[in-house]
Amino acid sequence: MNEHTFRATASVPRKATPEADICIIVEGCYPYVPGGVSSWIDWLIRSQPQTTFAVVTLWPRPTDQKPRYALPENVVALRHVYLQDFGGRPRANLPLPPGIEALGRSLNRLTTRGGAEALWETTAALDAMRGHVALPVLFNSPIAWQLVQEMYEAEMPYGSFLHYFWAWRALLGGLFATLEFKLPEARVYHTISTGYAGVLAARAALETGRPALLTEHGIYTNERRVELLMADWVADTVDKGHTLDDPRFDLRDMWVRAFEAYARTCYEASTEVVTLYQDNQRLQRALGADEDKLRVIANGIDVSKFSRLTQASDTARPTMALIGRVVPIKDIETFIASARIVRERIPEIRALIIGPTDEDPDYFAACRALVAELGLVDTVEFTGQVSILEYLPHVHVAVLTSLSESQPLVVLEAGAAGIPFVATNAGSCREIIEGRADEVPPLGPGGIVTDLVAPDQIADAVCVYLTEHEQRRAHGNALRRRVEATYTSERAAAAYRDLYLRLCLEPGKGTSREMM
């Protein structure tokens, strides 16, 4: 591999085929990281055994991480895009290639406003330069240096150029990686988020004329906004003091604006935009999604696998359990804090944290330190990745303290087992737990919904279910009936089967400007 080669690699296909029916595009999870979205993708592929899939997975850089999911037989190829592994050796005397000014203008438009037109202009500018200079070489040239200086002077002259430079490199490097990647052939390109994966799906639709389909679990831009607010790797280069309306642009603004622009690009290029619950559509509309493209396909689970589980007895050790990855977005620290409050009232309480702990070692260490600091070593247990089927029969009340969610499978799974749920008002948790306004017949509450970062509210709700056994059973049964009526894997699989068939049979729409 030489300096002109982009490091996007393909594994050897499990069986030779000129084309997959569906190309799944996913960022940062399947098949390497366990969790709700990865489990959903694995379920989706297995639920469509007559459909062939190519999987394109986006990662920051090459890794030795081993797959956590065995690829189903109908996956014909697995390919990787490395977002932060883009670049060649610097060349000081690189001649100015044709179209560099057009590239600068289109990149600025794509990363600030987005849209299919801006993406087309960017890919056209890149095509004009091919044969003159490889993009990885250009990215490390004095020309790129001049471009970033001009953008800095226009956007953030009052901030740190050093921090701006590295943020620009990260944003543009990831974008260039998605634009240079060799697309697998497919009848439909199905992305599971906006962001870089969404840009890749939009590019596929523009270049091939085949449909792009978006399924958003959580709203990607909102999740990235939360992460950016919490991130200590994003420097605050503008001191805004206590002023709320300071118009000056900062690095966090730059990242958020780019992700919003990428979302608009994906929405515009997609034939259909699917989400898991109705409230998400409000956010999609606000980011520019066309009303006519929007539809809801709720998550589903194999209800029978959970409904046959026995329930924890009233005389067993009282047990509350959070089921989820130990990462900041799940706000495990609030769960730990709530466990301390519960123990003051119910000293024998056991608090389980059921889920993988290896995704963010620093955060896991901070959570363990908090457990020790609060004197909860004998109360809180980190199980690591285990089968929840073995643990649910011992759980009296399930808990979710997430800052952001989509439609968490764990709420459905615990609900199918008849366990009431205490969850923050994130994603579709309220809709699942309390039911939609048009639910017929109304089944009643299946748990209690709390504010974000409210350990006292979490503790109060948990104590209700640990002391009021009849209420615990009644709410658990209501949640089970709701899951059985609305959230089955059979319903979800049939909806995607019909959607895939319709999109696969669509005639090609032409490419690039012909589609717009």
In the chain, domain spans: 1-237+247-300+490-509, 303-487
Q: HSE (CB half, 13 Å, CA atoms) of 194? A: 32
Q: Report helix, strand or coil for 105.
A: helix
Nearest-5° Cα angle at 298, 295 to 299 = 140
Residue 56 has pLDDT above 70, yes or no: yes
Q: Say how many C-beta atoms besides its own lie within 10 A of residue 360's C-beta.
A: 18
Contact 186, 20 (CB under 8 A): yes
Please tell me the predicted confidence (pLDDT) of residue 13: 41
The torsion angles phi and psi of 300, rounded to 5 degrees, stand at -140, 155
Distance CA 516, CA 514 (A): 6
Q: Which of 131-135, 216-220, 246-250 has the highest mean pLDDT?
A: 216-220
pTM: 0.79
Which pLDDT band, with edges at 50, 70 and 90, does 164 fall under?
A: confident
| The domain over range 303-487 is classified in CATH as 3.40.50.2000 | yes
Fill in the amino acid letter for 303: V
Cα dihedral sign, 362-365-370-373: negative
Q: What is the pLDDT of residue 94?
A: 62
The Cα 257–Cα 265 span in angstroms is 12
Q: What was the pLDDT predicted at 3?
A: 30
What is the number of other CB atoms lying within 10 angstroms of the CB of residue 432? 27
Q: Which pLDDT score is estimated for 127?
A: 84
| pLDDT higher than threshold 60 for residue 514 | no
Which of 127-136, 224-233, 364-373 comes out lowest in average pLDDT?
A: 224-233
Q: What is the pLDDT of residues 58-113, one digit of tens each?
A: 999 888 889 999 999 999 999 999 998 766 565 556 666 666 778 888 988 999 99
398 pLDDT higher than 70:
yes
pLDDT for residue 168: 87
pLDDT band at 515 (very low <50, low <70, confident <90, very high): very low
User: Which amino acid makes up residue 343?
Assistant: R
pLDDT band at 14 (very low <50, low <70, confident <90, very high): very low
Amino acid 154: pLDDT:
82
Residue 350, strand partner residues: 319
Q: Angle, to 10 degrees, between the axis of helix 409-416 and the axis of helix 36-46? A: 70
pLDDT tens, residue by residue, 173-229: 899 999 999 999 999 999 999 999 999 999 999 999 999 999 998 888 877 876 777
The answer to whether 208 and 274 have CB atoms below 8 angstroms apart is no
CB 26 within 8 A of CB 55: yes
**Choice among 58-67, 308-317, 348-357, 388-397 with the minimum mean pLDDT:** 58-67
What is the structure's pLDDT at 250?
Answer: 77
Q: Which neighbouring-strand residues pair with 449?
A: 423
pLDDT for res 131: 67
Quote the percentage of the chain above a pLDDT of 70.
87
pLDDT at 22: 98
Query: Which pLDDT score is estimated for 447?
Result: 99
- Is residue 17 predicted with pLDDT exceeding 50? no
Query: Strand 186-191 and strand 212-216: pairing?
Result: parallel
Residue 397 parent element (H or E): strand 397-400
Give the range among 5-9, 81-85, 250-254, 393-397 with minimum mean pLDDT: 5-9
Nearest partner of 426 among 305, 306, 324, 302, judged by Cα? 324
**What is the side-by-side strand order in the sheet with 380-384?**
380-384, 350-354, 319-323, 397-400, 421-424, 447-450
CA separation for the pair 398, 388 (Å, rounded): 12
Residue whose tokens read 């948790």 = 429
Using one digit for the tens of pLDDT, what is the confidence trace for 325-335? 999 999 999 99
Q: How far is CA 327 from CA 186, 227, 355, 392, 462, in A?
A: 34, 11, 10, 21, 22
**pLDDT confidence tier of residue 271, bands split at 50, 70 and 90:** very high
**8 Å CB contact between 220 and 230:** no
**Which amino acid appears at position 369 of this protein?**
A
| Alpha-helical runs (H) found in 287-360 | 303-307, 332-345
3-class SS at 206?
Answer: helix
Angle between helices 220-230 and 251-269 (to 10 degrees): 170
Q: What is the pLDDT of residues 278-287, one digit of tens each?
A: 889 998 999 9
Q: Considering the domain delimited by 1-237+247-300+490-509, tell me its CATH architecture.
A: 3-Layer(aba) Sandwich (3.40)
AA identity, residue 26: V
Burial class (CB in 10 A: 0-12, 13-18, 19+), 455: buried
Say what angle helices 469-486 and 455-467 make with each other, to 10 degrees. 100
Average pLDDT over residues 308-316: 96
H-only helix segments in 140-234:
142-155, 161-180, 195-208, 220-230
How much is the pLDDT for 4? 29
Q: Per-residue pLDDT tens for 218-243?
A: 888 877 876 777 666 555 555 555 55
Lowest mean pLDDT among 25-29, 214-218, 252-256, 315-319: 252-256
The confidence band for 167, taking pLDDT boundaries of 50, 70 and 90, is: confident
C-beta separation of 415 from 397 below 8 A: no
* Interval 148-161 mean pLDDT: 84
Are the C-beta atoms of residues 53 and 22 closer than 8 Å to each other? yes
Q: Which of 221-235, 402-416, 490-504 holds the top average pLDDT?
A: 490-504
Q: How far is CA 9 from CA 57, 85, 509, in A?
A: 11, 12, 29
**pLDDT mean across residues, the chain:** 88
Residue pair 191/200 in contact (Cβ under 8 Å)? The answer is yes
